[in-house]
Each structure stands twice: as structure tokens, then as C-alpha cells.
Structure 1
Amino acid sequence: MTDIPESPDLDEDDGAGGEEPIHEARLWRDVGWTARVIKNEDDDGWAVEMTKSGEVEPALVGPWTMGRDKKNPKPLDTSAFNTLVKTAAEVLRRHEQQLHAQMHKQITVNTDTGRVTVMLDIVPDEYDPYATLAAVDEYGETLASVRTSPTFKLNMTSATAWIANGYRKPGQ
């Protein structure tokens, strides 16, 4: 009787976004990321680009170390790849935080009736961008919500004026 090797379970998740892991000197793909060592176009050195699975553009491009021969790049390894994944993921996380901060602003105003938190949430729709201006009291009860221009500048002056104007849509 001949032993037939078992085929790998194709349903098993390898953690690489459905792609087979690759561990080569200049190409490393695993855990949903691809590291590719490339020739640095600006000089004689090398660079590494980190691309998340499913994305077209790299999340991170940075210099890569030369090997001992001072001509070829140092080969990728597990430790370097793990560090690159951590760094690239942090870059994406910071980008998402910055985008969130640009699209969601809030200011708290002290009024005669208590503290009011005014929030501006921008919806960057390609065809019809807009913003929602909302006010909640200190107990979390919604006092008002209006749709406004995505270019509305929320600051202490504009928030106070909106409250004093009876929460009417700005510009009216």
C-alpha cells in the first residue's frame, strides 16, 4: 500500500487574507501583509514597502538595510517582518485617527441652562458632502440636529452663536 500525502485543508485560514504565505529574501507575505524589498529610485540603496492585503497602495515605504556585500539588500526575516507589520499597522491607525479627528469635532459650551456639547460630523460623500451639527445636554439628551455645509467651522464662537440663535440652521 502506497502512502498518499494529505492535501492541506483549503478552508484553513492562514491569516494572510486568503493568500498563501511567502517567505523569500525580498518578498515576505503573511498575516495579511506583504513586505517587498525594492530598489530605491532616489539613490543606490534599497527600500521596503509594506502593503496590507487587498490594498493597492503601500501603507509604508522606508529605507532598507544593505547586506554585507554593500550592494544587495539584507534579506527579510521573521523579526524584521514582524517589526515592519507593527510599524505599518501603526501608520494606518494614526491615519485613521487623523481622518476621524478631521471629520468629527466637538465643543462644550456653558450656558445658563447647563453644559451643552455641540458636535460636527462631516460626511465626505463624493457627490453630496454635508455635515450634521448636533447639540446634546449634559445628560446626553439631544437638543437639536441640523444638516449644514461640510465647510462649517466649529469653534467656540460659532457654537455659542448657534445655541443663541435657537439651534436654527447656520446661515439662515
Structure 2
Amino acid sequence: MEAEALNSVLAGEVAEAVHEERLWSDNGWTAQVIKNEDDDGWAVSMTRHGDAEPSLVGPWTMGRDKKNPKPLDVSAFNTLVKTASEVLRRAEQHRHALLHKNVTVSIGGESITVELDIVPDEYEPYAVLSAKDIFGEELASVRVRPDFKLNTASAWAWIESGYRAPR
């Protein structure tokens, strides 16, 4: 039954929950206990339904016989879901930080926030440089190279140039 259930889960055909010793699928997640190929131990992988790769793979506890893995249960599954969700959240925060930067400069007593939003298009990546006043109103926006270095000096120079597109 376990192999059939796993194939259904991987094919995205899970309509009901699966609660087996080495396979637990519920609430949009699947935990699978697998043999660790590097040693005699066991590992568990957590995959969000619809994702091609696991979000989390980690060691799994041995059972009392010190040969077989400890069976999955609702408590362990919920902990794994929480941990895998946190891994995904942190990865998304990191990606956002890489693609969205901002600095605030003060010119003539006015604070202006300059933002750089990188669009990682597979064929033609680019970035958008924009300036906003303290109320969030856009003052200017230009398309720039995705490797544009945003810092206080480059933001200040862009504003001083009258918001002309940097070279």
C-alpha cells in the first residue's frame, strides 16, 4: 500500500489524507521516511504538494529496535510541517532581499526613498529604479541594468541628475 500511496501523492492525486508509518500526507504536505544512503540511519523528507523538490530533508529517529525508523505520527508530522514552512518562508525572505533593495537619502530637507526592484527574467533580466517621497508617492521610475549597484551615493547622483536613467 505504501508504494501506491506514494505514487498517488507524487502524482498530485491525493484527495484524502494518508497516515502510514513511513508516509504521512495531509494538509498540503507529505512526509516520507527514507533510508539514508550515506549510513545505516534514516531520513525524512517534507514536500509541499505541487512542489517538485522537498522543502526539507533531515535525519530521522531510529525505532526501539535500533534498525528500523520510528513511525510517523501526527505530532511529528505537525512539527515537520512547521519546520518546512519556516524553511520556505526564510528562503522567500532571502530571495526578496536579493531582488528588492532600498535606501533613503535626504536632499534639501526632503527624504526620498530610492528602490531597486530586480526582475529576474530568464532571457532579459532588468531592474526598475524608482524614487518615492515620504508619503509613498512615486517621483520617478526608470529601467536599469539588473546589476545596478544601489547605494546612498548612486541614489543621490540619480536624484541630482533629475532622475535621468543611469548608464
TM-score, normalization by structure 2: 0.90
Corresponding position: 1:61 with 2:57: yes
Aligned-residue sequence identity (percent) comes to 68
Residue in structure 2 matched with residue 145 of structure 1 by the alignment: 141
- Contact 1:17/1:53, CA 8 A, preserved across alignment: no
Amino acid at match of 1:69: D
Residue 53 of structure 1, CA deviation:
0.3
Q: Which has the larger radius of gyration?
A: 1
Unaligned residue ranges in structure 2 (runs of 5+)? 1-11
Kindly provide the CA deviation profile for residues 42-85 of structure 1, in whole angstroms up to 9, marking residues without a partner as x.
21100000000011100000000000111110000000000000
Shifted more, 136-145 versus 37-46: the winner is 136-145
Q: If each structure's helix is expressed as a fraction of its own residues, which one has the higher value?
A: 2
SS at match of 1:162: helix
Deviation at 1:141, TM superposition (A): 2.1
Q: Which residue of 2 aligns with 1:81?
A: 77
Query: 1:137: how far off?
Result: 1.2
Paired position in structure 1 for 2:114: 118
For 1:160 and 1:26, the matched residues in 2 are separated by: 58
Question: In 2 relative to 1, CA 18–26 (structure 1 residues): closer, same or farther, beyond 3 Å?
Answer: closer
**TM-score scaled to structure 1, two decimals?**
0.87
| C-alpha distance in 2 between matches for 1:83 and 1:143 | 47
**Is structure 2 residue 42 aligned with structure 1 residue 46?**
yes
Q: Which stretch shifts more, 114-123 or 134-143?
A: 134-143
Alpha-carbon offset, residue 20 of structure 1: 2.0
Q: Please give the secondary structure, in 2, of the residue aligned with 1:63.
A: strand
Residue correspondence of structure 1 range 1-172 to structure 2 within 5 A: 19-171=15-167
Aligned partners of 1:17 and 1:31 also within 8 Å: no
In structure 1, stretches of 5+ residues that fail to align are 1-15
CA distance in 1, matches of 2:38, 2:151: 43
Which residue identity lines up with residue 78 of structure 1 in the other structure? V
Give RMSD over aligned pairs.
1.4
Which residue of structure 2 lines up, in the alignment, with residue 7 of structure 1? none
Q: Secondary structure at the match of 2:122?
A: coil
Q: How many pairs does the alignment contain?
A: 156
Which secondary structure does the structure 1 equivalent of 2:16 belong to? Answer: coil
Quickly say closer, same or farther: Cα 1:31–1:152, change in 2 above 3 A.
same
Which residue type is aligned with residue 38 of structure 2? Answer: D
Q: What's the CA shift string for 1:117-171, capped at 9, x where partnerless?
A: 0000111111111100000111222111000011111111111111112111111
Asked if the contact 1:51–1:57 (Cα under 8 Å) also holds between the matched residues in 2, the reply is yes
- Mapped to 1, the partners of 2:20 and 2:135 lie a distance apart of 57
